[in-house]
Amino acid sequence: MSSSPSPGEPLVHVDNVDKVFHRGSEEIHILSNLNLRVPAGEFLALMGPSGSGKSTLLNLIGGLDRPTRGTVTVAGDRLDQLSDRQLAAWRARHIGFVFQLYNLMPVLTAEHNVELPLLLTPLTKAERRRHVATALAMVGLSHRATHYPRTLSGGEQQRVGIARGIVTDPTLLLCDEPTGDLDRKAGDEILNLLQALNREHGKTIVMVTHDPHASARAARTVHLDKGQLSNGEVH
């Protein structure tokens, strides 16, 4: 089944992918014959105007959606060959998501939000607690563990979102506009954190962003326009 590639080897293979949505009888081509490689340990920024297909590509890589044509292979697994149930288990094992609007459960404390992905693992309660404490410490929020999202600032909520994304030590961290709803200072803190996760912990990160300031923190930026990659750039 899956195998984690060594640093530098491609972790993500997107091959000849089309994605078509239907609105009534109209066909909307979001992605067209798209090819992309993301090496293990890379911090990649996906940029492009609204409607260019950035989030759709992120969803395909994260196994949230399926391509109309082509294949997506992540960590050695062909996602189109997995059933819905297998795909859910695969996401739990390999993918950490960070969303623009944090997407925390308002009824759970920060530590219970971070614990959510661990509930799908066979870890004991004590082990889960240890993992949650480590993740919150990594994002600098140990002191806010028992706080509810409504009592946290936007930056803090996003850090909780990142802790939730990394608590299972996923193979790949997918971030959809992680600084899109934050002011510059809070956004910088989040970007520092993502950079640290990539550089110090070797985490592979794919980040969708509009913001050139954010993309500048990535090791490589690719541009999407009208469903196709327009160029590649290495910083």
Partner 1 sequence: MKFIHLVWGNLKRRKLRTSLTLLSILVAFVLFGFLCAIKQALVGGVALAGADRLIVRHKVSIIQLLPETYQARMERIPGVAAVAHQTWFGGIYQDPKNFFMQCPVVPEQFMAIFPEFILPPDQMKAWLATRTGAIVGRKTAERFHWKVGDKVPILSPIWLRQTWEFDIVGIFDGAKKGTDTTSMFFRYDYFDEARKAQNWGTGQVGWYTIKVKDPAQAADVARRIDEEFANSPAETKTEPEGAFAQGFANQIGNIALIVAGILGAVFFTILLVTGSTMSQAVRERIGELGVLKAIGFTNGQVLGLVLTESCLLTMLGGGLGLGCAWVLTAQGDPTGGMLPMFFFPVRDLLLGLGLSLLLGIVTGILPAQQAMRLRVSDALRRM
| Half-sphere exposure at residue 189, Cβ-oriented, CA atoms within 13 angstroms | 17
Q: Is 103 in the site for partner 1 (CB under 8 A)?
A: yes
- Measured from the Cβ of residue 214, the count of other Cβ atoms closer than 10 Å reads 24
Q: Is 28 in the site for partner 1 (CB under 8 A)?
A: no
Closer residue to partner 1, CB minimum distance, 108 or 219: 108
Closer residue to partner 1, CB minimum distance, 88 or 216: 88
Instruction: Compute φ and ψ for 197, nearest 5 degrees.
Output: -60, -35
Among 106, 126, 150, 185, binds partner 1 (CB under 8 A): 106
Q: Which of 7-25 are b and which e, b meaning 16 or more Cβ less than 10 Å from the residue's Cβ?
A: eeeebbbbeebebeeeeee
Q: Is 1 in the site for partner 1 (CB under 8 A)?
A: no
Cα separation of 224 and 182, whole Å? Answer: 23
Among 159, 164, 217, 223, binds partner 1 (CB under 8 A): 164
- Both tokens of 163, joined, read 């802790």
Q: Is 92 in the site for partner 1 (CB under 8 A)?
A: yes
Q: Sign of torsion, CA 189 215 113 93?
A: negative
Report helix, strand or coil for 73: strand
- Measured from the Cβ of residue 107, the count of other Cβ atoms closer than 10 Å reads 9
Among 1, 107, 126, 234, binds partner 1 (CB under 8 A): 107
Task: Provide, rounded to whole angstroms, the least separation between the CB of residue 179 and partner 1.
Answer: 17
Name which of residues 120 to 159 contact partner 1 (CB under 8 A): 120, 125
Task: Provide, rounded to whole angstroms, the least separation between the CB of residue 233 and partner 1.
Answer: 28
- Both tokens of 95, joined, read 């993918």
* Per-residue interface string for the shown chain with partner 1, residues 70-89, x marking contact by CB under 8 A: --------------xx--xx
Closer residue to partner 1, CB minimum distance, 107 or 234: 107
Q: Which residues bind partner 1 (CB under 8 A)?
A: 56, 59, 62, 64-65, 84-85, 88-89, 91-93, 95, 97, 99, 101, 103, 105-108, 112, 116-117, 119-120, 125, 164
